[in-house]
Chains A and B, each alone.
Chain A
Amino acid sequence: MIELNNISKWYAVGGNRNYVLRDVKFSVREGEFVSIMGPSGSGKSTLLHILGLIDEPSEGYHYFMGEAVHLLKEKQRSNLAKANIGFVFQAYHLIDELNVYENIETPLIYHNVKGSERKAMVADMLDRFQIVGKKDLFPSQLSGGQQQLVGIARSLIASPRLLLADEPTGNLNSRQGEEIMELFRKLNSQDGVTIIQVTHSEKNATYGKRVIHLLDGKIEKETQE
């Protein structure tokens, strides 16, 4: 599904290159659950953003769903991401001005899904996550765990093949975090969604079947369960 070949990312600082990622090379098959670990500044988030097609590597080859991403134009890339990728953020990133229902609905609007269909799909999703009662509340009225639940519901509404999660439990207490991780496991095993998560926590990393350890922009080691 994903193949990264010698991906590097640097920023020019003065006359020097400041590497964030250096010769990263790995691949992910459909249906995998991968965790990326590493200390602060090791390049985890950048790698995730590159995987999510919202950031571009400075060099290297990147294949996603059979497409050579490094050759695509901005708009094509954007469409590819829109169709296949869902994002979950540490800070949830819900739109404050929209309520739960509307937040979940938004990606469908950008997918040009018809109003009646949207209604059915959102209702379905609310049901599945058991948040029907909260559909009219605004993000500020929810707890962190609930917000993240909405964030995940929103990321799944367009049925992506790949779910990218950037420290999804980082702002949650341990009990909420566990619930979210259990949800991820279920999504992966029952629904077959490919998941790549970035995490700090050893415990959460174990939910993944593969763990990629990053250090200073390089893959230090890879462990498999």
Chain B
Amino acid sequence: MRDVAVIGVGMAKWGELWDKALRDVFVETALLAIDDAGVDHIDSMYVGCMSSGLFVGQEHLASLLADYLGIAPVPAARVETACASGGLAFRQGWMEVALGQSDIVLVSGIEKMTDVTGDGATYALGTAADQEYEGYHGITFPGLYAMMARRHMHDYGTTREQLAQVAVKNHRHGAMNPLAQFPFEVTIDQVKSSVMIADPLRILDCSPITDGAAAVVICPLDRAKTLGDKPPVKMVGSGHATDTIALHARPDITWLSATERAAEAAYKMAGVKPDQIDLAEVHDCFTIAEICVTEALGFVDRGKGGQAVESGFTALGGTIPVNTSGGLKSKGHPVGATGVAQIVELTKQLRGDAGDRQVEGARVGLAQNMGGSGGSTLVHILEAT
């Protein structure tokens, strides 16, 4: 297996991009990554996308996007594992380069979610839950995470205040990210008085509906040294695991076992422990999700995720800053793009190129991207060179 590095990243402003077609959102972002890498060709391409079929009625996505990027006839594949599709695309691209099948691979993620009405987006997202035994009963995604939150509060004494602090922290970080969909701060009172969606989760506990894409260019580490003028970032750990997609079928609904297992694999491959991670981008699709994820990644003990955000452990300037990009909460959550955008943020941080939100001396970064209520998870660890 060859060592692999990220040599280029691309992301444009996320939001409600009504004036742009899915293919244009993709090409604009892919070109940013290609130009950042300074490469003159692409050997192969992966795109993570949860549901272009339901969101814009377009399948056969990878060929369409390769064509519009002007790189056809290179091989191109779209991969899907719900909201973790971007993370999966990165893993597939890494494997292809590591195995020597291709040298320069474009890994992207995309979702165009605002071409449908609100209910259409809710339906499309809902298909990441068990449609026959959860969705049938009128249970929404906020509802699933609300039930996790209720149980976490019951079992560990996690408070409504601590949930709000996740949103406040990530918006504080996101306010320093000009590409974020909602780059502004919110207060605890604003979160706690926002519209109730599924008790105890309110609208400011939820990540938004977003149009956007993210892209990275990867290549063998030894070639990275001769390509481009930016320091390559080395891919040192990758893990992927699954769990039941029905929340009720798990022995402990507040414990994200797929995250735990994917992290174990990534830590083992990288030869690092949780306390050696300098910063992390995690899947805060809802405030409670970040609390559960920090526990499953081993950053804090089981049940202590709420206290971790309250104490500032996970804030910029804390022990392990989590979601310096603003996370899904402030940056936005175009589902298929999220996992790749996490790699974009880690790369910027490990290059020392993250501007106001730079984590000083960042050497090792972790990305955790999950699908549904935790039925699939990708964890990646990157290291500065």
Verify that A and B bind, or say they do not.
Answer: no
By a beta-carbon cutoff of 8 Å, the part of chain B in contact with chain A is none
By a beta-carbon cutoff of 8 Å, the part of chain A in contact with chain B is none
